[in-house]
A = this chain, B = another copy of it.
Amino acid sequence: MAMEVGFLGLGIMGKAMATNLLRNGFKVTVWNRTLSKCDELVEHGASIGETPAAVAKKCKCIIAMLSDPSAALSVVFDKDGVLEEICHGKGYIDMSTVDADTSLKISEAIISKGGHFLEAPVSGSKKPAEDGQLVILAAGEKALYEEAILAFNVLGKKSFFLGQVGNGAKMKLVVNMIMGSMMNAFSEGLVLAGNSGLDPHTLLDVLDLGAIANPMFKLKGPTMIQSSYSPAFPLKHQQKDMRLALALGDENAVSMPVAAAANEAFKKARSLGLGDLDFSAVHETVKDLHYPS
């Protein structure tokens, strides 16, 4: 018999994920702040819940995929929020990318009502979400993780259980910190190549054949050379993750000079007005900037 799940949040990611659940035989009750966004899901067989509370009342397991910490808090704590109906025997899985503190706050509230909680941020953006190829970084109650594994197998190519609440958020920060530093190293290399008389396209070809070949260089390199930065992952979000990763290092007395230098470059990019572009736009800070005379 198909498992029944609630799904809160139908943005780019949430819509793709809920669709995948429906296609794979799950019964899904959806809710979105703008309810009209639910219509397309209904065509695929979804039911609609009028409020987060209504979804929580109807379903034993509720998945949330919200855009940021304030939205994640809002669907739980606001009027008609999840907290009004969560109770013993129900599970709440927050797959939004939030900081460890937000996650902990939601966890405590859910548990205080007798519910079960799992944070499960994902690695991967629109395309992997559509293809069910996300990587899921779950943490919280192991039993709920085991219940959710069927759903996770539909949504992602791999899921990890990382222990206590907060560890999912932390793991994501570590990965994004490495990614941000790499993006800076890559940008510096592209500009150094170009300004030294080498063809940056050839650099891409050489990189792609060697020990540091990776999908990000391959995907972003050609558009970066064209100074095209259509936002897949906005620079301001990448910078925020660098900041949070450095703060995590500060708590644990880990000195990270390369991440710190990368973070300042992302800040410089923000000060140039590039915060809403793709994080690869940090490339612009390495180029010769025009000095306003």
Q: How far is the CA of A137 from the CA of B199 in the complex (A)?
A: 13
Instruction: Give the copy number.
Output: 4
Q: What 0/1 pattern do residues 240 to 261 of A give for CB contact below 8 A with B?
A: 0001010011111111111111
Interface residues of A in 141-184 (CB under 8 A from B): 157-158, 160, 162-164, 167, 170-171, 174-175, 177-179, 181-182, 184
Q: Is the CB of A289 within 8 A of B291?
A: yes
Contacts of A274 in B (CB 8 A): 291
Contacts of A191 in B (CB 8 A): 254
Total interface residues on A, using CB and 8 Å?
81
Q: Is the CB of A177 within 8 A of B171?
A: no
CB < 8 Å neighbour of A264 from B157, B256, B284: B256
A168 to chain B, nearest CB (A): 10
Q: How far is the CA of A117 from the CA of B161 in the complex (A)?
A: 51
Contacts of A2 in B (CB 8 A): none
Q: Is the CB of B179 within 8 A of A181?
A: no
Q: How far is the CA of A36 from the CA of B198 in the complex (A)?
A: 41
**CB of A234 within 8 A of chain B?**
no
In the complex, the chain B residue whose C-beta lies closest to that of A288 is: B271
CB < 8 Å neighbour of A260 from B170, B213, B261: B261
Contacts of A272 in B (CB 8 A): 288-291
Q: How far is the CA of A274 from the CA of B292 in the complex (A)?
A: 11
Interface residues of A in 21-47 (CB under 8 A from B): none
In this complex, the member of A192, A248, A258 whose beta carbon has the largest number of chain B beta carbons within 10 angstroms is: A258
Contacts of A213 in B (CB 8 A): 214-215
A residues sitting closer than 8 Å to B (CB atoms) are 123-124, 135, 137, 157-158, 160, 162-164, 167, 170-171, 174-175, 177-179, 181-182, 184-186, 188-189, 191-193, 195-199, 202-203, 205-207, 209-216, 219, 243, 245, 248-265, 267-268, 270-274, 284, 286, 288-292
15 new A-B contacts at CB < 8 Å, known A175-B207, A284-B291? A123-B206, A137-B206, A160-B206, A162-B199, A164-B197, A181-B182, A185-B259, A196-B254, A253-B270, A254-B267, A254-B286, A257-B257, A260-B260, A272-B289, A289-B290
Counting from the closest, the 10 A-B pairs by CB-CB distance are: A181-B185, A255-B268, A214-B214, A253-B271, A261-B261, A272-B291, A255-B267, A178-B189, A195-B252, A188-B256
